[in-house]
Structure 1
Amino acid sequence: MSFRRYQKVLGIPRVMSATLFMFVAGLPLTIMTLTLSLHVLNEMGRSYFDAGLVGTATALGFAVGSPLLGRMMDRHGLRPVVAVCGTVSTAAWVTLPLVDFTLFVALAFAAGMFTVPTGSLSRQFIASLVPEDYRRAAYSLNTMLMELSFVITPAVGILLITHYSATSMLVGIGVWRALSYVALYLLNWPIRNPHEAVAVEEPVRLKWREWLSARLIGVLLVSSGALFVLFGTELALIAVLRENGEIAFTGYVIAATSIASIAGGFVHGIVHRSWSLTRLAVTMSVLLLPVAFFDHVWWWLLLALLPTNLLCTPTLAASSEAVAELAPPSVRGQVMGLQDSANRMGQTLSMPLVGFAIDNVSPSMGFVAAACGGLVLIGIATLCSVRQASAQA
């Protein structure tokens, strides 16, 4: 192991400032869906179905918008996209509290679609600023900060919503993001390094068949499978603790598993040789299966979840590294936007399927469903890789 890897990464010009800025700018993203749902439930007096409909609209907006905005950045650069999309999304967020439910759903979709994807953009900055030899450490650091945001923001967001209102939070999110867009426009960090920028200026543009390889599809599926496991695990955790009357301990369990995930990511970034993406994702999924037998007491559950969570950040960091390696510079934004969409797909598929297992079998079977769903997506990814290898043979 070499702790100097992180020191060298942070010593690269603009890496520390870009990484920290994108962490701060992306904090509201982790509370967006919850804030929208609570506004629908509390301020609008609507049903849980309506709140779920708004959440789905926002998720679909993100899934559609991420690759499209990435493609626009590939063609026109960072500033034009930030200026246009920042204006539209900010207008959508501050208008949301003023409209009826039908327009609310439409604006929620627009807010998601035109939100500049902080996650994929930060990965683009890393790919452009950091040499390949240090990207594992850089992506590990980026993913650890993302994990940290999921620890900090929901607790702070709930506190603010409780003391003020979900409506105030909607406006606050819009203002926060607007200030972030202004700063991002002024800072204008590169999305390609100088050598890549020169190459992209050539008039020949790649067609999607030239870059959307079976290997890239496999990486996107593995990334989607990892998110299926993670969000399914969270839902199963809440179901088990609620069944046991221990819902008050949810925060402790989530905090402990998040710390384990960050610790795993830290080690992943400093080792000289790490596991492959597929091995990390498969092991993370398999380690979740026996958790179903430790559902009696909250601290048993906490201990049982630690091994699989140790591999959470390493898996997500490895998927980002693999996408950066496979994405040609001229379409990097679009490819990384597709990764965001794949992650959203995993999240969207996970909730109803794991919920079905919880409702019809038992809360603890939610962990089994989450693991099996992830393994299915990883298996499909493996078939894609085998197919490509056979075609090349």
Structure 2
Amino acid sequence: MRSYREVLATPAVRNVLLLGALVRIPFFAGTILLALHVVQTLHGSYAQAGALTTAVTLCIAISGPWRGRLLDRFGLRRTIAPSILVGAACWCIAPFVGYGPLLVLAAVAGLFDIPIFTVVRQAVIAATTEDNRQPALALESVSVDAAFMVGPVIGVAATALGSTRLVLFAVQMCLVLAGILMWLLNPPLRSAASDRVAERAVPRRQWFGPEFIALCVGACAAISVLAASELTLVAAVRTVGAQRWLGLLMAVWGLGSVLGGLIYGALHRSISTYLLLAALGAVTVPLAFANGPVLLGVTGLIAGLFCAPTIAASVSRLSHIVPEGGRGEAIGWHGATMTLGNGIGSSLAGIAIDAGGYPLGFGMSAAVGIGFGLGLAVLVGIVTRRHAGRADSARGHTMASPV
């Protein structure tokens, strides 16, 4: 655990990780609150609730690369200031209007969403060296898992204490306040060395190549596996008649991810994100054969071990292949593909569950992880060897040329 002590001993990293953990709790609470607000307070259908959350999610995904590019060009404060103002204006009104205006206001707020994930990951990368970046990104990934588990629980519990209008307003104002705090702290998004040379935003063509695309596809596949597994776990619990254990089983699955992330971060060598993705798919297979809450818990704990490491390894590799002047936009694209993966995974799981029950749902999740993990590993290996061959050939021609 020495690597974690060294990371947390650095004030810049510690502060960014703490800020990211606090900001993400209301972020994840807001998603479930929107659905509850539509169904409980506006007396809408679940289809309307789903349409609203889908619209907001798509708007946030669309804004990711755009906001990331602005971070690269103009820095944190000039990028998030409009987000703070637009978010405050929209969410002061949205909880207190009908479904139609709520849909429009929430979508606009999504387009101007504060790029929390991009800022935190970019700041963590900037504050670390290659020696301590892996444990720092592992902690960042673990904090996402923790917020994902805690946020929805807090949001649902808060609705039992008061109107969803007030709770939704309070949660969104927490996000606005978090944006203000982020603006005040203004964590560096580039390393000190980069600041000294005043690096500008780099052209997209310098980093948007086959390996970056493969990373984004892999991240999309990883989140698809997780989203599909989450929905399938709900179906499995209902099928075996263990609904009262759903919350505990979700927590155990999340605990597995936290443990896996901490173990990965403590390693002294990196592991290919594509091999981790394939492993994530492989450890999902036993879930298809679990026929009770105990087996679901045990297999879920094991399956969770590869969740956080897969994402952390993907972000770590991104930091190696993308120059600092392009990381904001790159992380934005990376996050957008993960958002897309969430929707794809849930849709595929629904189809599989309807066709063959929860075993087929878990089987489909496993197939996505194994197939994309191994396939991308092979493709990236081929592309890397070709580039290496071209580089060697170019050096040979240069050495053979007369001076």
State the TM bucket, normalised to the shorter chain: over 0.9
- 2:260 matched to which residue of 1? 264
Partner of residue 117 from structure 1, selected from 96, 109, 115? 115
Taking the aligned partners of 1:53 and 1:383, their CA distance within structure 2 comes to 38
8 A contact 1:93–1:173 mirrored in 2: no
8 A contact 1:200–1:329 mirrored in 2: no
Taking the aligned partners of 2:164 and 2:85, their CA distance within structure 1 comes to 22
8 A contact 1:144–1:266 mirrored in 2: yes
Please show how residues 257-336 of structure 1 align to structure 2 within 5 Å: 257-294=253-290, 296-336=291-331
Taking the aligned partners of 1:288 and 1:280, their CA distance within structure 2 comes to 12
Q: Could you tell me which amino acid in structure 2 is paired with residue 389 of structure 1?
A: T
Please show how residues 41-80 of structure 1 align to structure 2 within 5 Å: 41-80=39-78
Taking the aligned partners of 2:371 and 2:164, their CA distance within structure 1 comes to 38
8 A contact 1:79–1:188 mirrored in 2: yes
Q: Could you tell me which amino acid in structure 2 is paired with residue 160 of structure 1?
A: A
Q: Could you tell me which amino acid in structure 2 is paired with residue 233 of structure 1?
A: S
Taking the aligned partners of 2:103 and 2:171, their CA distance within structure 1 comes to 17
TM-score calculated relative to the size of structure 1: 0.94
- 2:360 matched to which residue of 1? 365
8 A contact 2:255–2:301 mirrored in 1: no
Taking the aligned partners of 1:107 and 1:376, their CA distance within structure 2 comes to 40
CA shift, 1:384, in A, is 4.6
CA shift, 1:140, in A, is 0.6
Which shows bigger deviation, 134-143 or 5-14?
5-14
Q: Could you tell me which amino acid in structure 1 is paired with residue 215 of structure 2?
A: V
Taking the aligned partners of 1:375 and 1:112, their CA distance within structure 2 comes to 33
- 1:23 matched to which residue of 2? 21
Q: Which stretches in structure 1 are left out of the alignment for 5+ residues? A: none
Taking the aligned partners of 1:350 and 1:386, their CA distance within structure 2 comes to 26
- RMSD over equivalenced CA pairs, Å: 1.6
- 1:233 matched to which residue of 2? 229
- Which of the two has higher C-alpha Rg? 2
Q: Which stretches in structure 2 are left out of the alignment for 5+ residues? A: 390-403
8 A contact 2:13–2:127 mirrored in 1: yes
Taking the aligned partners of 1:319 and 1:201, their CA distance within structure 2 comes to 24
The number of equivalent residue pairs is: 388
8 A contact 1:57–1:106 mirrored in 2: no
% of aligned pairs identical?
28
- 2:245 matched to which residue of 1? 249
CA shift, 1:378, in A, is 3.3
Partner of residue 158 from structure 2, selected from 152, 157, 160? 160
Q: Could you tell me which amino acid in structure 2 is paired with residue 372 of structure 1?
A: A
Taking the aligned partners of 1:12 and 1:109, their CA distance within structure 2 comes to 38
Q: Could you tell me which amino acid in structure 1 is paired with residue 295 of structure 2?
A: W
Partner of residue 84 from structure 1, selected from 74, 82, 85? 82
Encode CA deviations 1:296-339: one digit per residue, 9 max, x unaligned.
21111111122221111111111111111222111110001111
TM-score calculated relative to the size of structure 2: 0.92
Taking the aligned partners of 1:48 and 1:353, their CA distance within structure 2 comes to 19
Encode CA deviations 1:217-236: one digit per residue, 9 max, x unaligned.
11111111111111111100
Distance 1:185 1:339, change over 3 A: same
Q: Could you tell me which amino acid in structure 2 is paired with residue 63 of structure 1?
A: A
Q: Could you tell me which amino acid in structure 1 is paired with residue 325 of structure 2?
A: S
- The reply to whether residue 213 of structure 1 matches residue 205 of structure 2 is no
- 1:104 matched to which residue of 2? 102
Q: Could you tell me which amino acid in structure 2 is paired with residue 239 of structure 1?
A: A
Taking the aligned partners of 2:247 and 2:264, their CA distance within structure 1 comes to 26
